[in-house]
Amino acid sequence: MHIGLKGTMNVLFLKDLTEKTRRGQRRRVEKVVRVAVSHMATTWHSRIGAAQVRV
């Protein structure tokens, strides 16, 4: 009986750990993407602004 309960608790722990790990990885990727998009927008705006000054 005790062995079956311990195995069930281990399975629940591993499922919870899997969810937390995936959530953390997803947040890290979203953060990197957000920074990259922000950088691209800043670069694009600075290029457009420079082109308008030259005209």
Per-residue pLDDT of the chain (55 residues; tens, 9 = 90+): 667 899 999 999 999 999 999 999 999 999 988 888 887 877 766 666 655 555 4
Tokens of 47: 């290029």
Read off the pTM.
0.55
The pLDDT of residue 36: 85
The pLDDT of residue 37: 84
The pLDDT of residue 20: 96
Tokens of 40: 């691209």
Tokens of 23: 């959530």
Cα–Cα distance for residue pair 16/18, rounded to 1 Å: 5
